[in-house]
């Protein structure tokens, strides 16, 4: 019953937002038999004049700042806080805590970002499309919602990774519309709700009907947040 209500609630959020429909937000998530969760969320917009300013710099900053996005009051009603912790000479971590008791729910490690550029021929070789992009990787290194890492060194351990990728494609051809595409993923995440393998039916059901939908909702908000910053005022053609 709880899972059904969460699915209905998320469906109402999506169906009631013309922005989500216009960016074509899609998501898929599953829990592997080894207890590791994986997901993918995709969205895109196309139109003219989508490349005003330094888009890669802007989105890289938002990707890196994702933990603080979770703590914004308008996103999750101020239920969480983001606290940066320093560990001597090791890389700092960011803890997501509940606002009431200060319990550490998730801990993120240091982000790593790379950029790339590709050129390809399209439409039977008559159109050259340039695609540039940025990928940011954010490791999950601890917290109540994640399984305990294999080492106590939070700067080196990992129980999953969040990846954020934006690609921008454009061409001088008038037949080709500029395109922005955002893709986010969870890779090898070990949720504490599911526990260590083998994952029993009850734990799997609880995870798939709670944290799974919560993550999808947060990523839906985050995708829209990025587009509103990159293409203000946002409109797709």
Flag whether pLDDT at 21 surpasses 60: no
d(CA 73, CA 198): 37
Task: Return mean pLDDT, the chain.
Answer: 83
Give the total number of structural domains in the chain. Answer: 1
Q: Cα separation of 111 and 93, whole Å?
A: 10
Report if residue 130 sits inside a domain.
yes
State the distance between the two ends of the chain, measured CA to CA, in whole angstroms.
40
pLDDT confidence bin for 22, thresholds 50/70/90: very low
Q: Is residue 235 part of a domain?
A: no
DSSP code for 79: -
Question: CA 216, CA 63: separation in Å to the nearest integer?
Answer: 16
Above 70 in pLDDT, residue 183? yes
Parent domain of 210: 2-230
CA 79 to the chain's CA centroid: 19
Q: Show the tokens assigned to 6.
A: 């969460």
Q: What is the pLDDT of residues 190-201, one digit of tens each?
A: 999 999 899 999
Tokens, residue 122: 């399209």
Contact 233, 25 (CB under 8 A): no
pLDDT band of residue 11 (cuts 50, 70, 90) is very low
| Residue 237 within any structural domain of the chain | no
User: What are the tens digits of pLDDT across the range 105-150?
Assistant: 999 999 999 999 988 776 655 778 889 999 999 999 999 999 987 6
Residue at 99 is within a domain:
yes
d(CA 233, CA 229): 8
């Amino acid at each position: 019953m709880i899972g059904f209500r969460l699915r209905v609630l998320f469906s109402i959020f999506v169906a009631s937002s013309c922005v989500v429909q216009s960016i074509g937000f899609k998501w898929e998530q599953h829990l592997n038999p080894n207890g590791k969760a994986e997901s993918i969320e995709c969205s895109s917009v196309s139109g003219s004049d989508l490349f005003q300013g330094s888009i890669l710099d802007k989105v890289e900053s938002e990707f890196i700042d994702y933990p603080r996005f979770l703590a914004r009051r308008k996103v999750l009603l101020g239920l969480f806080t983001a606290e940066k912790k320093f560990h001597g000479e090791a890389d700092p971590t960011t803890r997501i805590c509940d606002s009431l008791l200060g319990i550490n729910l998730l801990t993120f490690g240091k982000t790593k970002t790379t950029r790339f550029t590709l050129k390809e021929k399209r439409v039977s070789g008559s159109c050259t499309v340039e695609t540039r992009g940025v990928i940011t990787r954010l490791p999950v290194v601890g917290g109540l919602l994640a399984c305990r890492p294999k080492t106590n060194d939070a700067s080196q351990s990992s129980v999953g990774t969040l990846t954020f990728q934006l690609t921008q494609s454009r061409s001088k051809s008038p037949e080709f519309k500029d395109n922005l595409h955002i893709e986010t993923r969870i890779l090898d995440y070990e949720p504490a709700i599911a526990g260590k393998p083998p994952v029993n039916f009850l734990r799997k059901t609880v995870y798939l009907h709670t944290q799974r939908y919560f993550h999808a909702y947060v990523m839906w908000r985050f995708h829209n947040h990025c587009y509103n910053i990159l293409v203000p005022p946002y409109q797709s053609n």
